[in-house]
Amino acid sequence: MYAAFCGFAIGTGTLLYFSGDLPDLQNLKTEIRNPAVIIQTFNGKVIGSYGDLYEDVVQIKDLPEHVPIAFMAVEDKRFFSHFGIDFVGFFRAMYQNYISGRVVQGGSTITQQLAKNILITESKITYHDRTIARKIKELLLSLWLEQKFTKTEILMMYLNRVYFGAGTYGIDAASRKYFGKSSKQLTVFESAILSGLLKAPAKYNPTNRPSFAYERAMTVLKAMEDQGYIKSAKAIEREQGRAALSGNAKLTNNYMYFCDYAYEQAKKILGYITDDVIIVTTLDEEKQSKADEAVEFYIKTEGENYKFKQASFLCLDRNGAVKAMVGGNGYSATQFNRAVHASRMPGSAFKIFIYGAALEYGYQLNDLISDAPVKIAGWEPKNYKWKTHGKIPVLDGFVFSVNAISIRLAQAIGLKNVARFSKKLGIYDVSTHDMSVALGTTPVTLKDLTAAYTTFMDGLPVWPYCILEIRTKTGEILYQKGQEARASVLDKEVLSLSRIMLRAVIQRGTGRAANAGENIYGKTGSNGDFDAWFFGFYDPPDDAAAGFSVGVWIGNDVNTDRMTPNSTGGRIPARIARRFLDNCLTSVTPKNPALVAPADAAQGDGNKQPPLRLGAILPEF
């Protein structure tokens, strides 16, 4: 009797001790998180997010019934029959883990998972806490939750608080993050993806690991089928599976290089971001889609032939607004943005600064200069595939990228004038002591060189930007892009002559592969089979607002990995630009067979069949 009393007293004291540290359920903290940053296009489409994302609380009655069913089927199939602790599930999991020799099943109910979430949020335990004290608090809070709230209320709190990876909390935020839609519009397969994600958010992230997410979703659907909630997992897969992940991939990866860039710029503008904000950007969805398609097509069809694994692409409007950006071959594989951060040697693409400075110095396009190879203190650069004629016009030297002409012009006007001219167009740190500058040995980024070429549209300096406005969720404007005062940095005659040169390159020179029409201008460049470039712009005289510039680079991340010999800018980079230009300027696929992608396989709508009727209905719905 005495022993029983002592045991009861000790047990009661233990419960009272741990219950005193439980959170006040009347005043739960609504959020402890990093500010949410939403990235959207200028016309309002959300394309990315950062920080901890929460949306408004979603009521269970407002969700399709298959949404909570998917979570219960895989997380807690006896949710409506236990009192917060499922001893059947707990001992089953213990047995499975024992015979497997590792943890293969968890025994926590949805109520216990909610309790753990609340304890972590309220700073009562840490995420990695594995102590007995933590488990006791979790069990006590689970029992109290079951006493205080209905099952539907517990399920609602769970779905609105649970973590879905990538800084995303709650079913509605996850639905918008991964599928670009409200949770009220989730399909059965999408619900299965999200419920399957909880087991390991990083492993089953549908953005970064779609195959793993797909496989896990099928496990969830099979559980739903076994429990009588749906008739056929395979039928769901056939009708909805492909659409679920293809839509997600299009929504996320294609924009993420740009989103990272916009996020970086927002932090520079605001300093430290303390509130939830919406960043309205300059991105043009159509141009981004066409840029992605052009780059992907040539990496897939010519990457192996020319031995290049990476490519970057940038499109600016004439004022410097970023309309499309490709930072590399697949964001999920590598997040390094080669369009912004990779500094490489531009080769002949740099010659525009040599010739521009020479025109400013007084040279004319018909002036004759020797095209014989140059020798300077043991340095003997060759003319690439050019047979010496004796003397040729300055214009032809540029059009056919003759090295000897560029070097002789640089010698005649002096590298200080070249550096001064380059600086006006945004290219700094040009050496004034190394004549190899004339052949493009000054490292540059695709962003900076594209901006410099954009200057030749109007003669005005161009500073790339990607943010139009930053505001809070309540509508308070924190930043708005204003009109910058820009004075011309190019003399009218220099600008006119430069445009003649750039147009001639496209008409009859090294950039012929990019000739998508009479209003295309540009220049190619290459660096000894390590880097290949194309820069140019479309500038219709009757519609200035429609003009835009493009920059393309291909190569490999490792500087010692050469591409195929003669991988010049006039080959793949110019063709990438041409494909993009053709698709932007017409709605017809290019007729040149070399530039046409194979016909895509027919894709089903995925939603043509009548909505699937669930095999069972939850008791409280």
Last residue of some domain: 423, 439, 455?
Answer: 439
Q: Which residue has the higher pLDDT, 450 or 248?
A: 450
* Co-location of 73 and 211 in the same domain: yes
Asked if residue 129 belongs to a domain, the reply is yes
Containing 470, the helix (H) or strand (E) segment is strand 467-472
* Co-location of 120 and 261 in the same domain: yes
* Co-location of 259 and 398 in the same domain: no
Asked if residue 293 belongs to a domain, the reply is no
Lowest mean pLDDT among 83-97, 362-376, 437-451, 460-474: 83-97
Asked if residue 127 belongs to a domain, the reply is yes
Number of Cβ atoms within 10 Å of the Cβ of 619? 9
Q: In the prediction, which pLDDT does 601 show?
A: 28
Does 423 score more than 70 pLDDT? Answer: yes
Q: In the prediction, which pLDDT does 250 show?
A: 43
Q: In the prediction, which pLDDT does 524 show?
A: 97
The predicted model gives 237-242 an average pLDDT of 84
* Co-location of 197 and 81 in the same domain: yes
Asked if residue 370 belongs to a domain, the reply is yes
Last residue of some domain: 216, 245, 265?
Answer: 265
CA–CA separation, 556 and 379 (whole Å): 27
CB 346 within 8 A of CB 527: yes
Computed from CA positions of residues 257, 262, 265, 271, in that sequence, does the dihedral angle turn out positive or negative? negative
**Binning pLDDT at 50, 70 and 90, where does residue 107 land?**
low
- In tens, the pLDDT along 186-212 reads 999 999 999 999 888 889 988 778 889
Q: Any idea of the CA torsion for 382, 383, 386, 387, to the nearest 10 degrees? A: -50
Enumerate residues 6+ apart whose C-beta is below 8 A from 346: 440, 442, 444, 449, 525, 527, 531, 533
Does 405 score more than 80 pLDDT? Answer: yes
**Binning pLDDT at 50, 70 and 90, where does residue 87 land?**
low
- Looking at residue 376, the DSSP 8-state letter turns out to be B
The predicted model gives 319-328 an average pLDDT of 97
Half-sphere exposure of 326 (CA within 13 A, CB side): 26
Q: In the prediction, which pLDDT does 49 show?
A: 78
Q: Any idea of the CA torsion for 457, 460, 462, 468, to the nearest 10 degrees? A: -100
- Looking at residue 319, the DSSP 8-state letter turns out to be T
* Co-location of 60 and 207 in the same domain: yes
Q: Which residue has the higher pLDDT, 558 or 319?
A: 319
Last residue of some domain: 233, 265, 297?
Answer: 265
Q: Coil, helix or strand for 169?
A: strand
CB 122 within 8 A of CB 28: yes
Q: In the prediction, which pLDDT does 611 show?
A: 33
* Co-location of 373 and 261 in the same domain: no
Q: In the prediction, which pLDDT does 102 show?
A: 46
CATH number of the domain at 374, please: 3.40.710.10
Lowest mean pLDDT among 155-169, 391-405, 416-430, 568-582: 155-169
* Co-location of 172 and 55 in the same domain: yes
Task: Write down the residue that tokens 């192996």 correspond to.
Answer: 304
Enumerate residues 6+ apart whose C-beta is below 8 A from 182: 172, 175, 176
**Binning pLDDT at 50, 70 and 90, where does residue 115 land?**
confident
The predicted model gives 529-545 an average pLDDT of 94
For residue 526, the cross-strand partners are 532
Q: List the structure tokens of 501.
A: 């040169």
Q: Choose from 55-64, 129-138, 314-323, 374-383 the range with maximum mean pLDDT.
A: 314-323
Lowest mean pLDDT among 35-39, 82-86, 392-396, 469-473: 82-86
CA–CA separation, 510 and 401 (whole Å): 7
Lowest mean pLDDT among 134-148, 189-203, 268-282, 381-395: 134-148
* Co-location of 252 and 389 in the same domain: no
Q: In the prediction, which pLDDT does 278 show?
A: 93
Does 71 score more than 50 pLDDT? Answer: yes
* pTM score: 0.71
Give the total number of structural domains in the chain: 2
Number of Cβ atoms within 10 Å of the Cβ of 260? 20
Does 587 score more than 80 pLDDT? Answer: no
Asked if residue 525 belongs to a domain, the reply is no
Which domain covers residue 413, as residue numbers?
349-439
CA–CA separation, 381 and 77 (whole Å): 74
* Co-location of 143 and 236 in the same domain: yes
3-state secondary structure 558-594: CCCCCCCCCCCCCCHHHHHHHHHHHHHHCCCCCCCHH
Q: In the prediction, which pLDDT does 619 show?
A: 38
* Co-location of 261 and 354 in the same domain: no
Asked if residue 390 belongs to a domain, the reply is yes
**Binning pLDDT at 50, 70 and 90, where does residue 599 land?**
very low
What is the pLDDT of the chain when averaged over all its residues? 83
Asked if residue 326 belongs to a domain, the reply is no
Q: Residue type at 135?
A: K
Q: List the structure tokens of 597.
A: 């992608």
Q: Which residue has the higher pLDDT, 318 or 156?
A: 318
The predicted model gives 348-365 an average pLDDT of 97
CA–CA separation, 617 and 15 (whole Å): 38
Q: In the prediction, which pLDDT does 589 show?
A: 41
**Binning pLDDT at 50, 70 and 90, where does residue 134 land?**
low
Number of Cβ atoms within 10 Å of the Cβ of 518? 10
Does 20 score more than 60 pLDDT? Answer: no
CATH number of the domain at 216, please: 1.10.3810.10
Asked if residue 617 belongs to a domain, the reply is no
